[in-house]
Chain A
Amino acid sequence: MKNMQTPLHKVKGMGSSHSGTGHFWHERVSSVALIPLTLWFGYAVLGLVNASEVTAISFLAHPVNAILMAAFVIITLYHIKLGMQVIIDDYVHAAGAKIALLLLVRFAVIATGAACLFALLRIASL
């Protein structure tokens, strides 16, 4: 029987799984990035406990802090998307519910990220 796979598909060699170790690897890479970012996040949040609004704004409006917060938010949300996907794959076996939950996680993650980034931009312009 004639092989219907394209040469590129054959070279990638992933068959019906669509992705090889990509998910696993991205989870590890994001987790490594999150170690220093989490330490910075802890330093920032602890330093802003009971702070006035002016203090919080001037801290988050500083370019370095704004960029670190944006990186923390984006990478955390990506890590959440990957992690929730594993949990859904493990426990939800009905195809409809599974696809619905996976879509919900993706949409929620993007909506949350958009809200955070827009808030950071607004804070920077206050």
Chain B
Amino acid sequence: MADNPQAQARPARPLSPHLTIYHWAPTMLVSITHRVTGVGLSVGMLVLAWWLVAISNGPDGYQGFYNLVGSPIGLLAMFGFTWALAFHTLNGIRHLAFDLGYGFKKETARLSALLVIGLSLLVAAAIFALVWTGHAGYLG
């Protein structure tokens, strides 16, 4: 394989500047954000596993987890996971509509992308507003 004549006859060709040349559109932004939030939520899944294990470990482990989540960095991470879950769920529904053949018109796809961005931020903000006004923790 080392002296394959085709291997040396391959000049350095320019690559398509697919990420740097295009004007950013809401549809593009939402598409890549769906992937990024998916990876972020995979990390969030590990936090959920940690939470369940901490509860099953008894008071000490549980308190340690809550202290960490309640710290400024922990709260920031929780806001990130909350928004990411809202975004991924809403945009997931948008993608399921695409799969059924709806919403492919350029203007419709653009509007639904903007709607997903707006709604996900609104949902995350509303959830944190509920927590800060003391309306969360209703199962206690």
Contacts and interface: CB of A to CB of B under 8 A. Distances in A.
Are A and B physically bound partners? yes
Interface of A: 28, 31-32, 34-35, 38, 42, 44, 46-53, 55-57, 59-60, 69, 73, 76-77, 80, 83-84, 87, 112, 115-116, 118-120, 122-123, 126
**Most chain-A Cβ atoms within 10 A of its Cβ — which of B48, B58, B127?**
B48
Nearest to A56: B55
A120 B52 contact: yes
Interface of B: 35, 38-39, 41-42, 45-46, 48-49, 52-53, 55-56, 58-59, 62-63, 85, 89, 92-93, 95-96, 99, 127, 130-131, 136-140
B55 A123 contact: yes
A80 B138 contact: no
A122 B45 contact: no
Contacts of A31: 92, 95-96
Given A44-B139, A55-B139, A35 B56 contact: no
Main DSSP-derived SS at the A contact region: helix
A125 to B, nearest CB: 9
Main DSSP-derived SS at the B contact region: helix
Contact of B138 (A42, A47, A57, A76): A47
Nearest to B54: A119
B46 A51 contact: no
Contacts of A38: 85, 89
A34 B93 CA distance: 10
A77 B89 contact: no
B136 A42 contact: no
A119 B55 contact: yes
29 contacts: A34-B89, A34-B92, A35-B93, A42-B85, A44-B139, A46-B127, A46-B131, A46-B136, A46-B137, A47-B137, A47-B138, A48-B137, A49-B131, A51-B137, A57-B55, A59-B139, A60-B55, A73-B45, A73-B48, A77-B45, A80-B42, A80-B45, A83-B38, A87-B39, A115-B49, A115-B53, A119-B56, A123-B55, A123-B56
> Which are the 3 A-B pairs with shortest beta-carbon distances?
A47-B139, A122-B56, A49-B136
A36 B42 CA distance: 19
Contacts of A77: 45
